[in-house]
Chain A
C-alpha cells in the first residue's frame, strides 16, 4: 500500500469514528437515570402534560427514528437550545471552545518547550545529578493534583508577586495570553512530566542503537548525530504519547478552568452538569470527542511524516 492510499484510508476512518461517537453520545444521554420530560416538568408532570411534551420533543417516536433525527441534527449543526442559557447550544459552545483550544494549545506548547530540551539534558546525563534533579522536579509535578498546583501558582504568582491576574480572560490576544499563562502552566505541568519521562526513556533506547554508533563512525558532528539520528527516532514513540494525552489534557482543562475562572468549555461542562443542562452536556461531549479523534488523526499524520515505515 502506498503512503497516499494509507493516508486516504486513515482519513476515511474518521467517518465511522464520528458515527460511533454520535451513537455513543445518543445512547449515553438515554441511559441517564430518570426521564427528561419528568425532570423538566417536575411537580406539574401530569400524565397528560408528559404526553404532550414528549410528543412536542419527539420522544414518543421509536428510538431508531429519534437516532436518525439526532444524527441529522448533528450533521446540519442543529444541537438544540441550552435549557439554562436559553440560547442555541452551537452558539454557546462556539463562544467558549476557542478559549479552551487556546488554553490547551498554550499548555501543550509550554509542556513541549520544557519537556523536549530537558529530556535531552536528562538522558545525556543519565543517572548523574542533572538527570536526578530534572526527574525529581517532574516527579513532584506529576504527583501533584492539578487543582493544587493551580492554587499554589495562584498564591505565589498572582496573590503575592502580582505578576499575573488571578483569573478571567481578556479581549485582545495579548491579554488572553497573559490571562491564560498561569492556567496553561498548571495544565501543562503533568503533561510535561509525562512527555519528559517518556522521551528520556526513548532517547536512552536510541542513543546506544547501532545506527548511532555508525553515525559516530562516519565522523559526524555531535549536534548532527543528536538531531538527525537520535532525536528523530526518539520522537516517534513520544508523538503517539502526546496525541493520546490530548484527551487527559481536556479533562485537566475542566479543573483548570474552574480554578482560574476561565470561561472555556471545561467550566461550561461543569456548570451544565450541575444545572442538568442535557443539550449542552450532549453537544459538548460530542464536540470534545470529535476534537480528540481529530487530535489522533493529526498524531498519525505527524508519525507518518517522522517514520517512513508507517503505512507501507
Chain B
C-alpha cells in the first residue's frame, strides 16, 4: 500500500474575477522511501497540489477529492489528528526560506516548537536534538546557531535550517515545494544532494515540486508531469524521459538541451498555457500540440496505463513513440 495517495484532487480558487481551476483532477501515489518529482511550468498547479495535501491552502480555496495518508482520509481528520500528521509524519519545506522562517524567533525556537508538538522530549533533550538536526543538515557550530535569527544565516544556510525544522519529528514523508529555486546554482546542488542523502539515511519519502527537468532527472525515482492543473503523465524517470507518452512531455523534453546534442536545435513550444478561469473541454495542451487530432479539442483524454507503472493522458501516446524512434 502506498504511503500517500491522492485521488481526483480538485482545487478551485475563488477570486474577484471568478473561479480559477488551479488543480483539475490529479491522482498519484507515493510509496515509502520513494522520491516523486512533480514537474510543470509556472501556474501548472504543482505547488497548489503540494499545499493541498496537508490542507495548507487558505479559505479562498475549495478542495475536493481524496488524500489518504497510510489509508486514512487526511482531509476528513479531526483537528488534533491532522496536527499530529502535519509536521509529525508529513513535513513541508517551502521555496523561500527567508519568508518561511519567522524573522523574530531564533532558529532554535523554531525547531523546538516542532519537538514540543510531536515528541515527549524534555527541554534538554529537545536542545540536544536541535543541535543534532543542525549537524545533520550540515550547519557548523550548531549550538551557537540555535540562538541565532534567520537574518543572521546565509540563503543556503536558511534552506538547510528549514529542512532541519521539517525533519525534527522524523517524518515519513517530506513535501518540498521548489526547495532550490530561490538559491544560486552551486547551493542548489548542495541542497539537492543533502535531500537525497537524508532520504537515503532516514528512509523518508520525498515529493519534490520543481520546474527543472534536470533536477528531476538527477534526484527522482518517479515523475508526474503537470500542465494547466492536470496530470499529463506519470512513470519512472527513466521511462518518462526516454519514452514520453504524452505530447506535452515530449515537447518539453525536445525544448531542453540534452547530452550529446550540442549541435542540434532546441524546439520551443509555441503559444501560451491556457487560461484556467474557464473549464477546458478537451486536452489542455491541444492548442499548442503538433500531434492533435479532432477529439483532442472536444473530449478530455483520461489517464491510462501505457506500460507497467507508466500512465499518460494523451491520444497521441502511441504516435509519439514512433516519432522519437525516427
- Show the binding face of A for B, using Cβ within 8 Å: 208-211, 213-221, 224, 228-229, 232-233, 236, 306-309, 312
Contact = CB atoms under 8 A, between A and B. Distances in A.
Interface string B60-99: 0000000000000000000000111111100110101001
B117 A308 contact: no
B302 interface: no
B58 interface: yes
Contact of A211 (B83, B92, B101, B106): B101
A210 B99 contact: yes
Given A210-B100, A213-B56, A214-B101, A221 B151 contact: no
Contacts of B104: 232-233, 236, 306-309
Contacts of A210: 94, 96, 99-100
A224 B149 CA distance: 19
B117 A218 contact: yes
B54 interface: yes
Given A218-B117, A219-B118, A229 B56 contact: no
A93 B96 CA distance: 56
Given A210-B94, A224-B113, A312-B151, A217 B86 contact: yes
B100 A214 contact: yes
Given A228-B105, A308-B149, A312-B151, A219 B100 contact: no
Nearest to B165: A218
Contacts of B94: 210, 213-214
Contacts of A232: 104-105
Judged by DSSP, the binding face of A is helix
21 contacts: A210-B94, A210-B100, A211-B100, A213-B51, A213-B94, A213-B100, A214-B94, A215-B102, A217-B54, A217-B92, A218-B114, A219-B83, A219-B84, A219-B88, A221-B117, A228-B105, A229-B105, A233-B103, A307-B103, A309-B103, A309-B104
Contact of A217 (B91, B99, B102, B118): B91
Contacts of A308: 103-104, 106, 149, 151
Judged by DSSP, the binding face of B is mixed
Nearest first, the 9 A-B pairs at minimum CB distance are A219-B87, A219-B86, A218-B87, A217-B92, A210-B99, A219-B83, A211-B102, A214-B100, A308-B149
A216 B151 contact: no
Interface residues of B, number: 33
A307 B149 CA distance: 10
Contacts of A208: 58
Contacts of A224: 113, 117
A229 B102 contact: yes
Contacts of B88: 219
Contacts of B56: 213, 216-217
B61 to A, nearest CB: 12
B151 A309 contact: yes
A82 B41 CA distance: 78
A210 B47 CA distance: 13
Given A224-B113, A228-B105, A229-B102, 11 more contacts: A213-B51, A216-B56, A217-B54, A217-B56, A217-B92, A219-B83, A221-B117, A232-B105, A306-B104, A309-B103, A312-B151
B120 to A, nearest CB: 15
A112 to B, nearest CB: 20
Contacts of B92: 214, 217
A228 B99 contact: no
B114 A211 contact: no
A211 B103 contact: yes
A157 B113 CA distance: 48
A220 B85 CA distance: 11
A31 B104 CA distance: 48
A142 B10 CA distance: 45
A123 to B, nearest CB: 13
A312 B103 CA distance: 13
A223 B96 CA distance: 25
Contacts of A229: 102, 105
A218 B169 CA distance: 9
